[in-house]
Amino acid sequence: MTASAEAEPYAAYLFAHFVGEDGPDAEQVHFAVSRGETLTEWDLLAGGAPVLRSQVGTGGVRDPFLLRLRDGRGFVLLATDLQVYGIGHFRDAQEHGSSSLLIWESEDLVTWEGPRRIEAISPDRAGNAWAPEAVWCDEAQTYAVYWASNLYDESVAERRSTDSYNRMMIATTHDFVTFSEPGVWVDVRRGPGYGTIDSTVVRHGGTYYRFTKDEQPEIMQVFQERSPELLRETTDAAGSAWALVAERIGSEHVSHGEGPIVVRSLVDDRWFLLLDWPPYGGGEGYVLFETDDLDSGRWTPADRLPPRFRHGSIIPITAAERERLRAGFPPGVPAEAAARSGAM
């Protein structure tokens, strides 16, 4: 981002996401831009085709996360190296899936370099590395990258996902090339094969707010915590290290919530929470909630997004960045029309 762009106000949003498991193009990086300052009206870029593809690792890309770098010189996109298409389930991915993170870099959101594979944790111990995200850690003055992994005893000859569970892992980096030794960030076992996944973090008013999916089979919903320290480890129950704000967010409206996205309104003091209601949980993609008080834990349903916007991320962009994206990846039909026609 140039110095002139840095002075521009944000005028729209960019949504990076994947669209499902029904073909090799579905598990790649797709972009959509909002038509203005709303989160409910979107245009699919590149005519609804992927804007970024992976030909490394498993060949699939899920859970893309966009980050605008603090120095204003560009963007990073992190993603899960995973292709469920052709497998049909997640068990093998948790036992022997990729333990790498995928990383792209760009100066302008249009021209990207990558993907680069980063071994997140020893492949002899981890079965998977899911939904990586990053946030600036103010107290350590570095970026923190976090993701979910099943960990296994290296001496076990045959892995079974029911013998492990997903922990949230964390590492720090200054350049997204070299990383610190990963450590366990959230360790909450919810049953054989079930833990916690899909954490996302926003910082507001000196406090970090973390949203995480609880995988307990009868819950499968997102809980919210807060802490003044990002790197504080949770090794007991949810809320034991970070203060628990709310549990089972949106459960009256979605039977299964994951892939949370939290983004601030461009026009007022509201915050928006998007929960991915996946097809295997009875849903069709993201549902939108809002609040005017992050500390309250009260989220009001606002709308549903077009179907097949699956686990991804949203960043605010300037009008100039929006036009550059539309020129670089010419849009096709509006997202809701594509959804009705099955073109997504």
Judge whether residue 344 has pLDDT over 70. Answer: no
Q: What is the pLDDT of residue 1?
A: 42
Judge whether residue 121 has pLDDT over 80. Answer: no
Q: What is the pLDDT of residue 238?
A: 87
Q: What is the pLDDT of residue 123?
A: 59
Q: What is the pLDDT of residue 280?
A: 87
Least confident of 38-52, 77-91, 303-317: 77-91
Q: What is the pLDDT of residue 239?
A: 86
Per-residue pLDDT band at 162 (split at 50, 70, 90): confident
Q: What is the pLDDT of residue 2?
A: 43
Mean per-residue pLDDT, 272-279: 96
Q: Which residue has the higher pLDDT, 311 or 88?
A: 311
Q: What is the pLDDT of residue 26?
A: 95
Least confident of 46-55, 209-218, 300-309: 300-309
Q: What is the pLDDT of residue 72?
A: 86
> What's the mean pLDDT when you consider all of the chain?
91
Per-residue pLDDT band at 336 (split at 50, 70, 90): low
Q: Which residue has the higher pLDDT, 342 or 288?
A: 288
Residue pLDDT, tens place only, 168-191 = 999 999 999 999 999 999 999 999
Q: What is the pLDDT of residue 333?
A: 59
Judge whether residue 343 has pLDDT over 80. Answer: no
Q: What is the pLDDT of residue 119?
A: 83
pTM for the full predicted model: 0.93
Q: What is the pLDDT of residue 154?
A: 75
Q: Which residue has the higher pLDDT, 332 or 65?
A: 65
Tell me the domains of the chain and their CATH numbers: 3-341 (2.115.10.20)
Residue pLDDT, tens place only, 148-161 = 999 988 767 788 88
Q: What's the maximum distance between 2 C-alpha atoms anywhere in the chain?
A: 57
Q: Which two tokens stand for residue 151?
A: 């960990």
Most confident of 21-35, 117-131, 327-341: 21-35
Judge whether residue 340 has pLDDT over 50. Answer: no
Q: What is the pLDDT of residue 335?
A: 60
